[in-house]
Amino acid sequence: MIKQLVLLQACAACLFANTYYVSPTGNDLSSGTSTTSAFRTIDRLENAPLAAGDTILFARGGVWRELLYMTANGLTFGAYGSGPRPVITGADQVSGWTFTAANVWAAPLAIAPKQVWFQGDQGISVPSPQAVLGLNEWCYSQGRLYVYSPSIPSPGSIEAAQRGTALAMDGFGNETFQDLRLSNVNAVTVFIGPSLTGTQNFTNIIWEGSPAEGFMALSGAVNIVSSIGQNSLYGIGIYGGTGLRFSNSILSGNADMALMIDGTSGPSFVQS
């Protein structure tokens, strides 16, 4: 009888679940419940009445310079349309350049970045504006970003990390993520906090561009399938919870360590 009741509750949740759409060409005054009435921002999405069983789809080819933070249990995040994976990034495009010295340009920037990218290539941090002397070198000083460039940087060519994470969750669980790209932050690209239960599922995800762990989990269980963790200091750090299942996935270009598991209460499995 109890089993039947649980199944009925699950079916009821499916019947009343919603699908929300987010697109760079959307409108935050729209309902968000169709491709023609998509939200534009993650901030608007997170103020929607999300509930267990809901699905959130981001338009392929879109870029969101915001933090994606969980506000309910049992959500599914994915992509719709055609083109490359939707990108959620912790980096902002830098603008407002002024000439300061030979081949050195400066622009205002609110938060000190730990990483800067020049047309997608990671830059080289130097200790002072006077030390900015070569290709892809940069320095942050007194609220300004200084970069080396023979001419004024073109719009969108330089990005600087301005948010600590791209995806963060704590207090909610049993979330599912697929077909997304999470990138270029000041701390940890994917952060799973200390107060989660259940299993967080990641399929066909790329996470990258962290000066620390690209993926960090402190609680719950993590299941990663057909995904890529690349170009961070550490690929994955699992420091709590009930363990990791990692299959058919790649850890590449992580400068210090690919995978660290410590302090979990259950077994972990890594397989090709």
Q: pLDDT of 181-215, one tens digit each?
A: 999 999 999 999 999 989 999 999 999 999 999 99
Closest by alpha carbon to 87, among 71, 69, 65?
65
pLDDT band at 16 (very low <50, low <70, confident <90, very high): confident
For 45, other C-beta atoms within 10 Å of its C-beta total: 24
Q: Do residues 209 and 183 make contact, with C-beta atoms less than 8 angstroms apart?
A: yes
- Please give the residue that has the higher pLDDT: either 245 or 5: 245
Residue 15: per-residue pLDDT: 64
Q: Mean pLDDT, to the nearest integer, of 76-90?
A: 98
Q: Are 184 and 165 in contact (CB under 8 A)?
A: no
Looking at residue 197, what is its pLDDT? 87
Pick from 13, 28, 48: nearest CA to 5 = 13
Query: What's the rounded Cα separation, in Å, for the pair 249 and 225?
Result: 6
pLDDT digit string, tens, across residues 132-182: 999 999 999 999 999 999 999 999 999 999 999 999 999 999 999 999 999
Reply yes or no on whether the pLDDT at 10 is more than 50: no
| Per-residue pLDDT band at 272 (split at 50, 70, 90) | confident
Give the CB-side neighbour count of residue 244, counting CA atoms within 13 A: 24
pLDDT digits (tens, 9 = 90+) for 206-252: 999 999 999 999 999 999 999 999 999 999 999 999 999 999 999 99
pLDDT of residue 5 exceeding 50: no
Mean pLDDT of the chain, nearest integer: 95
Percentage of residues in the chain with pLDDT exceeding 70? 94
* pLDDT per position as a tens digit, 89-144: 999 999 999 999 999 999 999 999 999 999 999 999 999 999 999 999 999 999 99
Question: What pTM value is reported for the model?
Answer: 0.93
